[in-house]
Amino acid sequence: MNNKLEKLVQNLFKEGVIRSEIVKQVFLSVDRIQFVDESDKMYAYEDYPLQIGFNATISAPHMHAYSLELLKDHLQNGVRALDIGSGSGYLCAAMFLMMKSQQSKVIGVEHVPELVEKSLKNLNISYNQQLKDKQIQIIKGDGRLGYEQEGPYQAIHVGAAAETIPQKLLDQLDKGGRMVIPVGKGNQVFQVIDKDANGKLNIQNVLGVRYVPLTDLKKQLNN
């Protein structure tokens, strides 16, 4: 057992960020050190975001835990999940491990070509078979457009702050599904969006946050 990873998980559990056994086990199974840059591996188990290049970050562990707790029921009961701004690939692996169906599939969308390559390299360490079977896919594309080809999705995680909720993502959220997304410019709020059986949306503001913006590639690189 990785003592540093175990200590991080224990601390998140004590703080009430990790609340369920499944999120705890997923955190212990997906080793964050595989998804951070070589220069930051000494900080892999610290609870803060780390730069992964190209003005992108891997979120702090507590935010990943918070997101997974909010999405856990939809991931366990769902077949398709979408991770927008998938970065180094960490959350794609974590979301996949939470899903129970043999047909489970997680699609990560990332618009920085170098991060697509980096995430595939990271995932290949422990999730080579899932990549081969296309159960985990990393797509180069604009996250604001989602990935319609594999939708609808029972769970959607957005890892960058949108000024307004992208309509394409709302359209690709399945009935009965849930999306978590930071929204706002400057003052951001983490929102939980549920779509009921009739397609009606319920939006809750749950937490003040600070994420990199969900924008086009040129603006991100020049940010």
Rounded CA-CA distance 62/21 in Å is 15
pLDDT of residue 168: 97
* pTM of this structure: 0.95
Structure tokens at 217: 């590639």
CA 101 from centroid of its chain's CA atoms: 19
What per-residue confidence (pLDDT) applies to 213? 86
pLDDT at 26: 97
Residues recognised as catalytic? 59
* CA pair distance 83, 143, nearest whole angstrom: 9
Instruction: Give the per-residue pLDDT at 12.
Output: 97
From residue 217, give the alpha-carbon distance in Å to each of 55, 85, 112, 222: 10, 11, 7, 9
Q: Give the strand pairing for 188-195 and 201-209.
A: antiparallel
Query: What is the reported pLDDT for 163?
Result: 92
Question: Do residues 17 and 65 touch, judged by C-beta distance below 8 A?
Answer: yes
Q: What is the pLDDT of residue 216?
A: 74
pLDDT of residue 209: 93
Residues with pLDDT less than 70, the chain: 1, 220-221, 223
Q: Give residue 182's pLDDT.
A: 96
Instruction: Collapse the DSSP code of 163 into the 3-class scheme (helix H, G, I; strand E, B; otherwise coil) and give the result.
Output: coil
pLDDT at site 125: 94
